Amino acid sequence: MKFVDTILKKLFPGNGETYTHKENFSQADGEAVEIQNWMASEEGKSIFEMIYKNYHLQKTGEEITPEMLVFRSPYANGIAILYDLPLKTKTFSQLFFAFGQRIVDLGYERVSLDRTIQEKDPGVNVTEKQYLKPKATFNADQTDQLFGNVAIEKVSVNHQPQMIKILVTVYSDRLYTKARSFDAFIEAIFNPQ
């Protein structure tokens, strides 16, 4: 009977009930090349420059578009870029994957790429997430944690982009080197060598 109850609940959900589905997905080879091309294009460079400038303006308290939030703590730091003009839906998706590529280029490996779909009143929330870790070093006394673990999330509500969040968490373990600063992380992803 539990099976029948589950189906009935999906067909006739009660008030306040949510349905959540999580799945792994992958980027097709062609899409990865498109992201690389977009990052090298004038539009891609311009978007990265604008966000980098907005990061510094936000730190001084200026009102900026698109709005950014900065998170700071001893073990986790991050930024959130809120969806607004001049960003477009396609650009927002490209930016999500471009951030992941920039972090891979820093010596990270993408360990997961997943999507969570949550249906609840009044609509559908979709969160796409990339999780990246520094490449393991097995011949050293300590593993270089670079900047720490990185999670990138792109959140949409009712098919409308809302924000991209990048969160860096550091290891506080003697098996890992001391993490590089969050400011150095920002410089590295916005001004690659």
Radius of gyration of the chain (CA): 19
Taking only the tens place, the pLDDT of each residue in 134-190 is 987 776 788 888 999 999 999 999 989 999 999 999 988 888 888 999 999 999 999
Asked whether the beta carbons of 84 and 66 are under 8 A apart, the reply is: yes
Residue 46, pLDDT > 90, answer: yes
Asked whether the beta carbons of 153 and 175 are under 8 A apart, the reply is: no
- The continuous run of DSSP H or E covering 3 comes out as helix 2-11
Chain-wide mean pLDDT for the chain? 87
Taking only the tens place, the pLDDT of each residue in 72-111 is 988 899 999 999 888 898 999 999 999 999 999 999 999 9
Strands (E), the chain: 19-24, 68-71, 76-82, 108-120, 123-134, 149-157, 160-169
Say what the pLDDT of residue 154 is. 96
What are the φ/ψ torsions at residue 105 (nearest 5 degrees)?
Answer: -65, -20
Taking only the tens place, the pLDDT of each residue in 52-72 is 999 988 888 888 888 898 999
Closest CA to 168 of 136, 118, 134: 134
| pLDDT confidence bin for 8, thresholds 50/70/90 | low
State CA 122 to chain mean position distance: 25
Neighbouring C-beta atoms of residue 87, cutoff 10 Å: 20
Closest CA to 150 of 132, 137, 175: 132
Kindly list the domain boundaries of the chain, sorted by start residue.
16-190
